[in-house]
Structure 1
């Protein structure tokens, strides 16, 4: 019987799909991710089940949609994951960095956790007083942790859009710190069992805070940034307009938002964000080297992805919570030392949580029958795989997004439909003619039939979901 492969599951936080050079974005410097994408596969149409961290991760690690897990907001409790199934199957399961479980230190199936959470927890509903491994290291080095209280003291704080120079030694930056913890763990080789190692990088989530010397490469080059078109924000549904205003009036995660930010201010913000991605890419390279040096790379699957993206001022928005492509479309790379028949770009429409059954198939493990996630292992084997007809995304009212009880999205290859519970407004985009999502066709009589069809798809999906997930809901009730 073949041995189970090691699985290295690397997840960044709030990384856009358009931040990896091999995906076609040649302004990026991501040599290690490029290598994984060339030698393995990357999916061009992978979508999160939620546009914020906690519900997106809960879906990813359960194989179920937010309305099934009950985790629909960014502070909801979730403790159980399919990592428990991996542990029962003989894997040694380790988390280093961010998982974003609630409570933050719940076992979640891991044998060991070395937790590094959000960079800035000063305004968190939960966890403001939580002390993680990174906090301990900064304290041991006799530094004060940078964050909202210190950044607010800067004279130009209101114009920085969340972009700051990391003021402490490079090795204490959260992403460098997590990378080093992962390398150390791999080098110590603490178990002879197959390894499931989840590495959670806190970046490029704001504050966008690379060391100054990391930013120079991006400040000196042209970066593709879409200007906010006149009337764009004003034309959006009321909850999204109010979300924009909340970011303008506040500074969640140290980002003081400006809809009318100058081109230079937005270019600076983007440069700091992209520099953080390049830093993470370098840490991914170190992890690969450590696996190789210790003999772990010989039978290993590496997955690289994020939980959702970041608007970075596009459409006038800051951060997440909306249903635009910049937030819900994700980078995903899968590499295997055994190799796949397929190589490079794959285009089937998939849900982010579909990673779980795919990994179970690759590891030869039985998948729970109640999962709503669908394996795309056939696509990796170059077999016939059409992908999903539609993908779905959900967001409930939370500490930041307070403006609608529940938002649902259905996206097919051509159309995107965004539904606000109890409201007669919404969004409908023809992604074929309007890939930038600028023309809302919700009230267009010519699209009335399409709107009805998408609403019916949403309703049928919820009915199918309730039936499919009934066993899982019973288990964790």
Structure 2
């Protein structure tokens, strides 16, 4: 069968909880990522891409709707969302496919896809605990069940592992290997004459950090960058994050039993397993690229590589995500299409991850809804003058992990970051030029009151503009089932 529609295939690869500093070609030589490096070397890398929410579900809902969390109403994990601009692609003639994690709520919502092969969290223990996804079924067909919290808790060293466990079942059934394998199988066997929109969602390196043993051993033997947290920084943490530290000791989210004072050896193991999980994904990325090439359509394929947020891994004394430090909000974003965009370039302007939405629609020859809060990245990709955004924003609220605050809102410019906590008179203010590690809170510094007032005013303007711009779209976002949310 011959494809008659000349529009490009679009393949979006999204990892879960991958920090920016995990790709060798972006300057981090503690990593081995030869396949993602190929994308960097041939593509366009955005060095200051920030997410709109510091956790999985609200970030993905924002990415696939084109609206900030306060507009689409999805502030936290577990909150329902299922509509997306993917349906516009499908209606225009694209074959829309998702393999792996999307984190829609409900998990198996169509979300505009013709086909979904749902693979959810590696340790889904709370909402939807007994939802059996394609990975569960594959394991069951081998008489197995996934490694998960009930089993890890039986280990004597459970609280010392900080979520780091080797994958001891067959390597092909590790979640990221499984998603990569299904993707290759689908690409090799599915006859498709329409242009393809494919979202590949790897569950890792989200915890449990569970690489196969040989990769874990490889990184355990390396010197790795470890958190440098001082007593002064811990003392100066906002009360919300001090409470989160205590909460994460009491509640083992995603098989991570946190410690207030982990040893260097424990932190080294956690990072070694995390980095090893990234390399495991990198291998699968390479095999997907090779499969795309064998299909004979790689020259007309736009490949995107990114992640939904990062992981503190002990930075700032914190576990996992939710706190909008750069380790969480800044993610890799690489767009590779050498036949279309000059490669080997870096774009340093501030952008938001959900800016991919209108960009993808334009690649498909569609006109994005002008009410979208996401903005196209086309000028940057095409080599035009591109300043990026003046500021990026991030929101999180109503999450069970944030017991110390009901809602936070972040604004970040190239030079400063401010975080406001609902109902609190204090917040966080960082001078990113003098303190790029965000370790000294300048909220009460008399010398910083001018910039604090300016950032508050900019945040107010952002909310006012957002409310007016999306006034009609918001009615559609919450419309009854079956009605489209973006027209």
Per the normalisation by structure 2, the TM-score is: 0.96
CA-atom RMSD in angstroms: 1.2
Provide the residue aligned with 1:222 in structure 2. Answer: 223
Structure 1 Cα separation of the partners of residues 385 and 228 of structure 2? 40
Contact 2:336 2:343 in 1 (8 A): no
Provide, for residues 30-81 of structure 1, a one-character-per-residue CA deviation record: whole Å limited to 9, x for no partner: 0000000110111100000000110011001111100001000111100101
Structure 2 Cα separation of the partners of residues 227 and 153 of structure 1? 31
5+ long unaligned stretches in structure 1: none
Provide the residue aligned with 1:234 in structure 2. Answer: 235
Say which SS state the counterpart of residue 232 (structure 2) adopts. coil
Contact 1:31 1:281 in 2 (8 A): yes
Higher mean displacement: 147-156 or 363-372: 363-372
Aligned with 1:74 (options 74, 77, 83): 77
Structure 1 Cα separation of the partners of residues 234 and 214 of structure 2? 35
Q: Does 1:311 align with 2:308?
A: no
Provide the residue aligned with 1:383 in structure 2. Answer: 384
Structure 2 Cα separation of the partners of residues 216 and 210 of structure 1? 10
Report the Cα offset of residue 342 of structure 1: 5.3
Report the Cα offset of residue 113 of structure 1: 0.4
Say which SS state the counterpart of residue 333 (structure 1) adopts. strand
Spell out structure 1 runs of 4+ moving beyond 6 A: none
Aligned with 1:114 (options 89, 109, 117): 117
Structure 2 Cα separation of the partners of residues 351 and 63 of structure 1? 10
Say which SS state the counterpart of residue 378 (structure 1) adopts. helix
Contact 1:119 1:207 in 2 (8 A): yes
Aligned with 1:89 (options 87, 92, 102): 92
Contact 2:409 2:421 in 1 (8 A): yes
Q: Does 1:32 align with 2:35?
A: yes
Structure 2 Cα separation of the partners of residues 21 and 131 of structure 1? 36
Structure 2 Cα separation of the partners of residues 163 and 340 of structure 1? 39
Q: Does 1:328 align with 2:329?
A: yes
Report the Cα offset of residue 85 of structure 1: 0.8
Structure 1 Cα separation of the partners of residues 105 and 402 of structure 2? 18
Contact 1:79 1:107 in 2 (8 A): yes
Structure 1 Cα separation of the partners of residues 428 and 237 of structure 2? 8
Provide the residue aligned with 1:11 in structure 2. Answer: 14
State how 1:6-405 maps to structure 2 within 5 Å: 6-122=9-125, 124=126, 126-341=127-342, 343-405=344-406
- Figure out how many residues of one structure are paired with residues of the other and give that number: 475
Contact 1:348 1:386 in 2 (8 A): yes
Contact 2:349 2:386 in 1 (8 A): yes
Report the Cα offset of residue 337 of structure 1: 4.5
Provide, for residues 120-149 of structure 1, a one-character-per-residue CA deviation record: whole Å limited to 9, x for no partner: 012x2x210101000001111011321001
Contact 1:91 1:195 in 2 (8 A): yes
Say which SS state the counterpart of residue 14 (structure 2) adopts. strand
Say which SS state the counterpart of residue 20 (structure 2) adopts. coil
Report the Cα offset of residue 470 of structure 1: 1.9
Structure 2 Cα separation of the partners of residues 464 and 374 of structure 1? 14
Provide, for residues 393-419 of structure 1, a one-character-per-residue CA deviation record: whole Å limited to 9, x for no partner: 000021222221210000000010000
Structure 1 Cα separation of the partners of residues 457 and 338 of structure 2? 43
Contact 2:41 2:343 in 1 (8 A): no
Structure 1 Cα separation of the partners of residues 453 and 441 of structure 2? 15
Higher mean displacement: 331-340 or 312-321: 331-340
Say which SS state the counterpart of residue 396 (structure 2) adopts. strand
Contact 2:350 2:414 in 1 (8 A): yes
Provide the residue aligned with 2:445 in structure 1. Answer: 444
Report the Cα offset of residue 282 of structure 1: 0.5
Structure 2 Cα separation of the partners of residues 476 and 395 of structure 1? 19
Structure 1 Cα separation of the partners of residues 477 and 28 of structure 2? 42
Contact 2:98 2:116 in 1 (8 A): yes
Report the Cα offset of residue 2 of structure 1: 7.8
Structure 2 Cα separation of the partners of residues 246 and 296 of structure 1? 49
